[in-house]
């Protein structure tokens, strides 16, 4: 297997492993609901808005995860409640106002085709299907409607994920708001542990001097846990859990970057992989394959090597 394919497989294994651990721990032992959804949504599913790129220098500043009140307020203000359908608006607002945990994960910046990035953000089930096809994840994410999904980890965690608002374009200037609710049934709890989560994914892209496209993305997560005893436990362990969430998010974005690289160099291999995903609609398969071949035509394979890094 060539180096390109090896990089994709390695990133996929790390991301799927983190996602599986997250979803299993989630709802169950509290907060990893938003971790799992981080990988799925960002996958997922499911975007640091254009303002991140208003000045290139802003991406050179030290960037760390944040749980500060200032970051929380900015994230809440960035959620366009008026654009969210009234069916979900109150639920989203409740989580934003009464969240048990908030975390802004470190901004990730990777060399990636913007069009491919946007497509995968809007179609997170395709990433999950790839992981299943590779035999490295039991997590399922099934599309049940235009913007709705059901999810399960095979170990007691079930839930639904809804893209309640999105504004995306082919240059990855994206904003995606996701709402999820679900429950964990199993040890050590006698009763189901229920939670709700709101994810705000924002991204932007820019072209570097080497001619390569770079995408930067940020994820804000709000988690509301219904049982007070579990909520207190979650808050106590949040520093540790947060690091897992950060790594989970970074691995997912890295996987997408490596997938973009594979499309540049071996689009036919990507086509075979995508066409082997039975639960992905033919229309989505065809669109992704078209993007893969466009990547191969767009980028010069002799150009500067790809780079994946956190925004500094």
DSSP codes of every residue in 61-84: S----B--HHHHHHHHHHS-GGGS
Burial letters 127-162, b for 16+ CB under 10 A, else e: bbbbbbbeebbebbbebeeebebebbbeebbbbebb
pLDDT at 34: 43
- Alpha-carbon distance of 128 to 134, in angstroms, equals 10
Q: Which residues contact 133 (CB under 8 A, 6 or more apart)?
A: 273, 276, 277
pLDDT at 19: 39
Per the model's pLDDT, the better-predicted residue between 258 and 5 turns out to be 258
Q: Which residues contact 150 (CB under 8 A, 6 or more apart)?
A: 140, 141, 142, 144, 158, 159, 160, 161
- Of 227-236, 237-246, 275-284, least confident by mean pLDDT is 227-236
Four-residue CA torsion sign, 168, 115, 111, 127: positive
What are the two backbone dihedrals, phi and then psi, of residue 183, each rounded to the nearest 5 degrees?
Answer: -155, 155
pTM: 0.77
- Alpha-carbon distance of 139 to 129, in angstroms, equals 9
Q: Tens digit of pLDDT for each residue in 63-102?
A: 789 989 999 999 999 999 999 999 999 999 999 999 988 9
What is the length of the chain? Answer: 312
- Alpha-carbon distance of 123 to 28, in angstroms, equals 26
Closest by CA position to 123, among listed 199, 42, 2, 4:
42
**The pair of three-digit structure tokens given for residue 187, joined into one six-digit string:** 């040890």
Do 308 and 257 form a contact (C-beta atoms < 8 A)? yes
- Alpha-carbon distance of 47 to 107, in angstroms, equals 10
Parallel/antiparallel/unpaired status of strands 308-310 and 108-111: antiparallel
- Alpha-carbon distance of 128 to 166, in angstroms, equals 20
Cα 132 to its chain centre, rounded Å, is 17
CATH of domain 3-310: 3.30.530.20
- Alpha-carbon distance of 75 to 203, in angstroms, equals 14
Q: Tens digit of pLDDT for each residue in 105-143?
A: 999 999 999 999 999 999 999 998 998 888 877 888 999
3: pLDDT confidence band, cut at 50, 70 and 90? low
User: Could you count the other beta carbons within 10 Å of the beta carbon of residue 272?
Assistant: 11
Strand, helix or coil at 105? coil
pLDDT at 235: 61
Q: What is the DSSP letter of 39?
A: I
25: pLDDT confidence band, cut at 50, 70 and 90? very low
Q: What is the DSSP letter of 41?
A: I
- Alpha-carbon distance of 259 to 7, in angstroms, equals 9
């Amino acid at each position: 297997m060539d180096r390109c394919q090896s990089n994709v497989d390695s990133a996929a294994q790390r991301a799927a492993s983190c996602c599986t651990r997250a979803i299993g721990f989630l709802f169950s032992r509290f907060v990893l609901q938003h971790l799992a959804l981080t990988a799925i949504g960002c996958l997922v599913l499911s975007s640091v808005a254009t303002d991140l790129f208003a000045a290139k220098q802003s991406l050179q500043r030290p960037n760390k995860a944040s749980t500060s009140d200032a970051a929380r307020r900015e994230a809440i203000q960035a959620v366009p409640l008026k654009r969210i359908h009234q069916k979900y608006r109150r639920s989203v607002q409740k989580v934003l106002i009464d969240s048990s945990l908030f975390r802004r994960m470190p901004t990730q910046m990777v060399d990636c085709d913007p069009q491919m990035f946007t497509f995968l953000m809007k179609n997170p089930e395709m990433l999950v299907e790839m992981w299943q096809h590779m035999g490295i994840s039991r997590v399922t994410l099934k599309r049940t409607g235009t913007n709705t999904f059901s999810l399960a980890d095979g170990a007691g965690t079930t839930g639904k994920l809804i893209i309640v608002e999105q504004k995306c374009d082919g240059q990855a200037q994206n904003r995606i708001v996701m709402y999820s609710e679900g429950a964990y049934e199993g040890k050590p709890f006698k009763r189901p542990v229920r939670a709700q989560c709101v994810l705000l994914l924002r991204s932007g892209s820019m072209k570097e001097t080497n001619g390569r496209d770079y995408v930067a993305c940020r994820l804000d997560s709000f988690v509301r846990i219904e049982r007070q005893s579990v909520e207190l436990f979650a808050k106590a362990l949040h520093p540790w859990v947060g690091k897992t969430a950060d790594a989970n998010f970074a691995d997912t974005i890295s996987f997408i970057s490596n997938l973009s690289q594979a499309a540049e160099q071996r689009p036919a291999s990507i086509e075979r992989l995508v066409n082997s995903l039975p639960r992905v609609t033919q229309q989505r398969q065809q669109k992704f394959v078209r993007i893969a071949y466009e990547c191969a035509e767009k980028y010069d394979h002799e150009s500067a090597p790809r780079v994946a890094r956190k925004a500094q």
